[in-house]
Amino acid sequence: MKGSRAWLVVLMWGLVPVAAGCTADGAARAGSSAGASVTASASPSCARGAIHWVRTTKETELLAVSPVVEVAKTDGKVRFAFSPVRSVTPAVEVNDASVSDGRVFAALARRLDVDASVLRKPSSEQQQTGSEIDFLGAAGRFVEARGADVVRASFTVDCPAANPVHGSVTGYYGSSGASLQCGVDPGKAGGKASWVREAYDMTCGRS
């Protein structure tokens, strides 16, 4: 069917002369269409717009925790194996594709005075599989926990001839560790952070 229709159009062009006025009008339309296409493709990019930070928060989140281990005073070094609780995935979310992840991480790194490669550290590199702790002289039921120091920030990006672009970023900037003894309230022992309490409640049970 499509082949017949194409042949009919060619035949009509061959038999019917086109008036000069129509040809000019057609050219004008084509020119108008081409101009619109060029204008759209040349729309201003937000790629180099200034980044303005709206809010930045830092918090340690529990990454992994060990099972409870019974330790005797004569045990000395004790091996703790970690089980993962969660992972942290560095990422940028922004509503304009011209704003690159690399540029956002670089700007955040300057703001925090850290290396951008640290902020973008993959989750697999954050996770620890275990640790060895010297408990010589101590006795009781102990737990080891590891946390990821996480930064989250929201931002806007200046965009030429348009409203500012909005976005958010999550990054990793360090790790933390805690050694907990079941039966000893972590809050009273100085571990008031929520991730420490989470590790204690998960392993030793709520006190």
Looking at the DSSP bridge assignments, the partners of residue 131 are 80
The pTM of the whole model exceeds 0.85: no
Q: pLDDT by residue (tens digit) across 127-163?
A: 777 788 888 888 899 999 999 999 999 999 999 877 8
Question: 62: buried, middle or exposed (CB in 10 Å: 19+, 13-18, 0-12)?
Answer: buried
Question: What is the DSSP secondary-structure string of 116-171?
Answer: HHHHT--HHHH---EEEEE-TT--EEEEEEEEEEEEEEEEEE--TTSPPEEEEEEE
pLDDT in tens, 68-108: 999 998 888 999 999 999 988 999 999 899 999 999 999 99
Distance, in Å, from the CA atom of 48 to the CA atom of 55, rounded to the nearest integer, reads 21
d(CA 108, CA 57): 12
pLDDT tens readout for residues 103-115? 999 999 999 999 9
